[in-house]
Amino acid sequence: MTIAAGAVSPAGSVNAYRPPGRNNSFFEDYGIWKEAPIFTGSTKFDPLPDVKNIMITGGAGFIACWLVRHLTLTYPHAYNIVSFDKLDYCSSLNNTRVLNDRRNFTFHQGDITNPSEVLGCLERYNIDTIFHFAAQSHVDLSFGNSYGFTHTNVYGTHVLLESAKKVGIKRFIHISTDEVYGEVKDDDDDLLETSILAPTNPYAASKAAAEMLVHSYQKSFKLPVIIVRSNNVYGPHQYPEKIIPKFACLLNRGRPVVLHGDGSPTRRYLFAGDAADAFDTILHKGQLGQIYNVGSYDEISNLSLCGKLLDEMGISHGTPDEFGRWVKYTHDRPFNDHRYAVDGTKLRQLGWDQKTSFAEGLRITVEWYRRFGEEWWGDISKVLSPFPVVTGMEVVSDHEPVSDHPQGAEGGFSSKRKTRSENGVGGGGQHVVAT
Is 269 in the active site?
no
pLDDT of the residue at 425: 31
In total, the chain counts a number of residues equal to: 435
Chain centroid, CA 278 distance in Å: 15
CA dihedral 33, 38, 39, 41 (to 10 degrees): 140
Q: Which residue has the higher pLDDT, 386 or 204?
A: 204
**Catalytic residue of the set 75, 79, 181, 203:** 203
Angle (deg, nearest 10), helices 302-313 and 358-372? 60
pLDDT class for 184, splitting at 50, 70, 90?
confident
Mean pLDDT of 14-27: 42
**Catalytic residue of the set 85, 140, 178, 337:** 178
Q: Which domains, from first to last, does the chain contain?
A: 7-243+268-297+339-356 (3.40.50.720)
H or E, element range at 431: strand 430-431
CB 323 within 8 A of CB 284: no
Is 179 in the active site?
yes
CA angle 370, 98, 382 (to 5 degrees): 40
| Coil, helix or strand at residue 368 | helix
Amino acid in the structure at residue 215: H
Q: Which of 343, 328, 378, 389 is nearest to 138 (CA)?
A: 389
pLDDT of the residue at 24: 46
CB 157 within 8 A of CB 210: yes
H or E, element range at 131: strand 129-132
Largest CA distance in the chain: 66
Is 178 in the active site?
yes
- Looking at the DSSP bridge assignments, the partners of residue 342 are 191
Is the per-residue pLDDT at 143 higher than 70? Answer: no
Q: How far is CA 104 from CA 54, 55, 66, 82, 278, in A?
A: 10, 12, 16, 8, 22
CA dihedral 236, 241, 242, 248 (to 10 degrees): 60
Is the per-residue pLDDT at 2 higher than 60? Answer: no
pLDDT class for 209, splitting at 50, 70, 90?
very high
pLDDT class for 388, splitting at 50, 70, 90?
low
- Encode pLDDT of 283-296 as tens digits: 999 999 999 999 99
pLDDT of the residue at 137: 64
What DSSP designation does 93 have? G
Residue 252 C-beta-side C-alpha neighbours within 13 Å: 20
**Catalytic residue of the set 179, 298, 374, 400:** 179
Q: Which of 232, 276, 240 is nearest to 369 (CA)?
A: 240
